[in-house]
Amino acid sequence: MFHAQVLTLFPEFFSSPLACSIPSRAIAAGQARVDCIQIRDFATDKHRSVDDAPYGGGPGMLMKPEPVVAAIREARRRIPSTHVVMLTPSGRPFTQEVALEYAALDSITLLCGRYEGFDERICADVDAQLSLGDYVLSGGEPAALSVLDAVIRLLPGVLGSSESAVLDSFTEDGILDWPHYTRPEIFEGRSVPKVLLSGNHQAIEAWRKSESQARSKARLRAVLSHS
């Protein structure tokens, strides 16, 4: 079973999303397990503080090293083989390739920051740094949740054959999914492409492939024109 741990100041953030749809099914079936560890439980002063002001001045507060590192060590004590990942905008970009890598592991531990982020010395205690994208979230929790969702759906047996991940975007050579249509045949004057109604499976497959390629090229062009 894939065992994830989340180091967070807000364990309640995860309850509702993990109780829905595919993650909840995987957890109920014993294919995945997610445990939250409250970082504040590792604070040592009487105020249970987890943040402090930055040396050198500047706005905001930082996650203090002592409680965060103690929480990471507790996560490693519970699962010695776990891969500890710090969520930070400075990290490796999260992609489907990373999701596949994580789905092949026995355990990951996701470290969620708050405030202005982490004291830099905490980095020495993690195995990887991961970014959800080039924007700034208020905390690591939405990033951790996205990672959990993307990884859990890739675990063996989690998706039924009707929802297989093999055809998902980015799975084959980074190519995007093709456009999909369901009933009705005409919606607000827009028709389903005729080829999909033809019953000609070879033609349908060729159309899907060419649509996927066209979409992937269009997106690449859009990315390059903004870089």
Residues involved in catalysis = 89, 116, 153, 168
Q: Which residue matches tokens 């690591």? A: 140
Q: Select 137 or 204, whichever has its Cβ closest to ligand SAM.
A: 137
Exactly one of 9, 26, 102, 113 binds ligand SAM (CB under 6 A); which one? Answer: 113
Q: In whole angstroms, how close is the CB of 79 to ligand SAM at the nearest point?
A: 21
Exactly one of 40, 89, 149, 215 binds ligand SAM (CB under 6 A); which one? Answer: 89
Residue (of 23, 77, 68, 71) closest to 50 by Cα position: 68
Q: Select 27 or 132, whichever has its Cβ closest to ligand SAM.
A: 132
**Other beta carbons less than 10 A from residue 197's beta carbon:** 12
Q: Residue 1 carries which side chain, given as an amino acid letter?
A: M
Report residue 110 as tokens. 């996701």
DSSP β-bridge partners for residue 62: 52
Report residue 131 as tokens. 């970014």
Residue (of 222, 4, 217) closest to 110 by Cα position: 4
62 belongs to the binding site for ligand SAM (CB under 6 A): no
64 belongs to the binding site for ligand SAM (CB under 6 A): no
Q: Directed axis angle between helix 21-28 and helix 141-152, to 10°?
A: 70
Q: Select 27 or 148, whichever has its Cβ closest to ligand SAM.
A: 148
> For residue 183, what are the CA distances in angstroms to 188, 190, 191, 196?
12, 12, 10, 12
Closest residue to ligand SAM, based on beta-carbon distance: 113
Residues 126-155, interacting with ligand SAM (CB under 6 A): 131-133, 135-140, 143
Q: In whole angstroms, how close is the CB of 83 to ligand SAM at the nearest point?
A: 16
Question: Residues binding ligand SAM: what is the number (CB under 6 A)?
Answer: 20
Provide the binding-site residues for ligand SAM, judged by CB under 6 A: 87-90, 112-114, 116-118, 131-133, 135-140, 143
